[in-house]
Structure 1
């Protein structure tokens, strides 16, 4: 009598488990279906909200000047927070992998419509300085997920500078980093985001209140995507201007991509990613030790105002299917010795600003208007504090 009873109980137990399994499977399938519907609705809503045409002119919202002053105060607070014992650092991109000399050659066969500003003379070669960096406001190990930056300064550029106090500097800067769009849309959002981050509330910067309508989940995902694993070398990364510039009469964004086919073949020896400065080491290995140049292409993406390619929202990536990138110049980093105390100090004292340039490449849009004020204020503060030490 014991065995039949045991078998009966076992059979009942099995049926219960099978029933529970079917229930869990149905719940799981239901959640998948709901998720797919939610994704489809969200995608459709985003596409409906973000469709062309857009304005080709800047649109300055009320109160932007006051918000800019708030950002300046927060940026100076960040500089104070992250200062080292002997120097004040930048409020972003504090750690450089090096400042290197470069040659930027305008394409000899450049189309007439692309001959604008510093690209107006086909075949011309500009001498330049390029700073390669990590994005964080405090120097950290290169292995930590981060954005990577490239700032280009063309030298001996003639023309009326955008800023009256830059007379005689004869420069054109392009400031870029390693993601095509930014994690904030405009100055208002940047103000609340950077203030939260300065208070140590990095994730909460995207959740400013209890109201879900104020949550910036899409922008959080952009920020997380921006914090990418390190490349093998700063010369193996693609960099984007993120915000738009004037390009003659048009509006455009810039991109710099590696162009190994126009340089001698080179295989970088394996890097030890546990070393804190392995990206500087990789750059030095190629340019200084192995004496092999690195090559890039400089490209522009012109705005098509009939597509959703807004000027005032830097969180929106301008899609290549709406407007293709066009190569306007080639960049070469020749073999050189750049990692010396004197050159590193010179690199630390260099300032890069998208407003250091000429009218043909005027930065436009809210984030660029913010940069004009913040870069100048933070640079002046940093240099004054470093000179006083």
Structure 2
């Protein structure tokens, strides 16, 4: 009997997905609404306790640096020349580097990279603004909460101030998530010397069977300066910002923007962002380069401007529409929470006593 029930539980009568295909759960809208409500509760509580302070982001709260850059689309073959990559072009961009949780850069943590391109023909934002193309990436190739259901459970645990319960709840443990979260933690010498991944998939062009993930890494011939861990920076809780400041004070930096095509819908799923797409089966291919000119990334106005921005993967050209459950629930959640946070922070900065 136990074997029979086990076999029944292991059966999935839903049809297999093809390349680029999505499967929407009927519970997603409920998960999105509940997560939005809980994250707004946290934001309102912070505002109530600290009315003269900006509201931090729920994820990646510490802005490390917000350099400006040029995003240069390369000359590409027909397969790669799709959407905003259809022909060589240049876009002005702003990059936000952030810690996922830590305020002290010396703590092992996940690091985030968000890229916004400006004046992109055909791109539109969730708030109605035209011309914005956002790319969201992390310093690990997979998310520890890879489905809307897991994401919802994680947000609920954080909101209830018992994060451990998400990972170790004996009735619903997330041991795989715990392992991924542990693996994702690192302490890099430089934000410009590590690699970033989108973790979630996106359409690439007009063909609905084509899906990709994005990745960013240092250009092959670019070697940003590492910090001296034996020197004074080893005791600096903001060493990642200061190392980038030193890198960009003395020279430019170059980052390679790449895409990886989905070639197998089973081993490279659309609906589970906790799965790494194998690079041996489908290597990443360069489609653009980011050039960061000399600049001062410690300038208060640059950091303040970045804090006043709200990013969303659905700020996009339609040829690069987000795919998968994690991206679907991000749309309304990021918009509503971001609007609340930035509206408050804008009002705060406009007051005489504001930061």
Q: Do both proteins adopt the same fold according to a TM-score greater than 0.5, normalized to the shorter chain?
A: yes
> Counterpart of 2:214?
254
Is 1:346 paired with 2:305? yes
In the alignment, which of 23, 27, 40 is matched to residue 63 of structure 1? 27
Counterpart residue number, 2:178 = 220
Q: Deviations over 1:197-232 (max 9, x none)?
A: 222222221233x33xx3221121001112x23211
Aligned to 1:181: 142
The answer to whether 1:303 aligns with 2:262 is yes
2:83 alignment partner in structure 1: 117
Structure 1 position 132 matched with structure 2 position 97: yes
Residue 95 of structure 1: how far off its partner (Å):
0.8
Match of 1:321 among 271, 280, 291: 280
Q: Is the 8 A contact 1:255 1:300 kept in 2?
A: yes
**Alpha-carbon separation, structure 1, partners of 2:225 and 2:326:** 38
Higher helix share: 1
Aligned counterpart for 1:377 among listed residues 336, 343, 348:
336
Rounded to whole Å, the distance in 2 between the matches of 1:160 and 1:331 is: 19
Matched residue of 1:191: which SS? helix
Q: CA deviation at 1:307?
A: 4.7
Does residue 73 of structure 1 match 2:32?
no
Q: CA deviation at 1:53?
A: 6.8
Alpha-carbon distance, 1:100 to partner: 0.7
Mapping of residues 31-42 of structure 1, within 5 Å: none
Deviation of 1:57 after TM superposition, in Å, equals: 1.3
Q: Deviations over 1:39-91 (max 9, x none)?
A: xxxxxxxxx99xx9743311111121111111001212333455654211111
- State how far apart, in whole Å, the 2-side matches of 1:90 and 1:63 are: 25
Out of 122, 130, 147, the position equivalent to 1:159 is 122
SS of the aligned residue for 1:126 comes to strand
Unaligned runs of 5+ in 1: 1-47
Cα offset for 1:375?
0.6
1:358 maps to which of 309, 314, 317: 317
- The answer to whether the 8 A contact 2:84-2:120 is kept is yes
* Residue 147 of structure 2 corresponds to residue 202 of structure 1: no
SS in 1 for 2:79: helix
Whole-angstrom distance in 2 between the partners of 1:218 and 1:86: 36
Q: CA, structure 1 residues 238+266, in 2 after alignment: closer, same or farther (shift >3 Å)?
A: closer
Q: 1:82 to 1:300 in 2, by over 3 A?
A: farther
Q: What is the rounded CA distance, in whole Å, between the counterparts of 2:159 and 2:108 in structure 1? A: 19
Match of 2:72 among 105, 110, 123: 105
**Kept in 1: contact 2:190–2:227 (CA 8 A):** no
Q: 2:53 aligns with which of 86, 96, 111?
A: 86
Deviation at 1:306, TM superposition (A): 5.1
1:192 CA displacement: 1.2
Q: Secondary structure at the match of 1:298?
A: strand
Q: Deviations over 1:235-272 (max 9, x none)?
A: 011110000011112111000011150x4x55435152
CA contact (8 A) 1:142 1:273 kept: no
The question of 1:231 aligning with 2:188 is answered yes
RMSD: 2.1
Query: Which residue matches 1:332?
Result: 291
TM-fit CA distance, 1:166: 2.2
CA distance in structure 2 between the aligned counterparts of 1:266 and 1:243, rounded to whole angstroms = 28
- Cα distance 1:153–1:160, how it changes in 2: closer, same or farther (>3 A)? closer
Change (3 A) 1:160 1:101: closer
Question: TM-score by structure 2 length?
Answer: 0.86
